[in-house]
Amino acid sequence: MSFGANYPNTRMRRNRKSDWSRRLVRETSLSTNDLILPLFLQAGKNEKSEIKSMPGIFRLSKDLILNEVKKAAKLGIPAIALFPVIEPNKKSDVAKEAYNSKNLICSTIKEIKNLGLNIGIICDVALDPYTSHGHDGIIAKGEVLNDATVEILCKQALAQAAAGCDIVAPSDMMDGRVAKIRKALDDSGFENVQIMSYAAKYASSFYGPFREALGSDKSLGKKDKRSYQMDPANSEEALREVALDISEGADMVIIKPGLPYLDIIYRVKTTFGIPTFAYQVSGEYAMIKAAAKNGWIDEDEAIIESLIAFKRAGANGIITYGAIDIAEKISC
């Protein structure tokens, strides 16, 4: 491929000479439409607890969550993602609380819907917040059972859909769960509920602060999730996972984590063309915050640059804990 004449006829810096010119030729843009706000939901009223490993992020009771959702909607953020902090006495080996129609998530969905806001609700379909052992599935003889887990995931998705959830997001990485959930939703009259599948979710070291936020780190202990989450060394496998989820009825896919897997985002988007989302996970967020606190980087510039990287790789949007702060900055 020829790009024409070289220097001095071609001077690449001409287009960079001023702010207006740089904006004029910019290839990738970031807007509030690209942001999804994750929120940690806890029991109680007017309760707010700090997550020490995630500066500026809190577990919030339902009434305070409603305020955050109002703020996000006002800023034009298209969707929120809810993650529950379940009380220990409601956890069990078989995660029965996950499909309780009156559980913390379902009751909160109903209250958010009653606000009448123009904002979507995404719910995590996974059992780890609800299991006493911290795994994403049912365990027998030391093994996470795939098919038994999927049956419960279907019940969980149905409970969330009945409460008014707009998008269910299976993050468990069980085989075949998208097809089963799609059929369960359709058979129950929820054919318009979307599925945003965590199609390529890696067994990553970057999830630590998130597990602390949910309290699943205490349950999981030294056990890992490598028997169902993906090996960080694999990329062809990610394409197979995404292809399967698309064939099973996924409307959108998530790549998790984000920055260490930009190549996966790019390959998925260019291969399938499906709406593809990046999850800037807790460890990524915490690293930026920690470096900024020590004066090593400019926090605002670093966070924006990281989100631009997701967009440049092909992501349609990003789940990020800094969504509200970012929306306030880029909408100014």
| Sole residue written with tokens 């019940």 | 155
Please, are residues 201 and 229 in contact by the beta-carbon 8 Å criterion? yes
The three-point CA angle 187-192-195 to 5° equals: 90
Q: Which of 256, 269, 289, 311 is catalytic?
A: 256
Burial class (CB in 10 A: 0-12, 13-18, 19+), 209: buried
What is the distance between the alpha carbons of residues 152 and 285, in angstroms, rounded to a whole number? 31
Please, are residues 36 and 317 in contact by the beta-carbon 8 Å criterion? yes
Nearest CA among 190, 145, 148 for reference residue 166: 190
- Give the dihedral sign, CA 202/205/208/210: negative
Q: Which of 62, 90, 91, 201 is catalytic?
A: 201
Please, are residues 255 and 313 in contact by the beta-carbon 8 Å criterion? no
Verify whether residue 201 is a known catalytic residue: yes
Verify whether residue 74 is a known catalytic residue: no
What is the set of active-site residues?
Answer: 201, 256
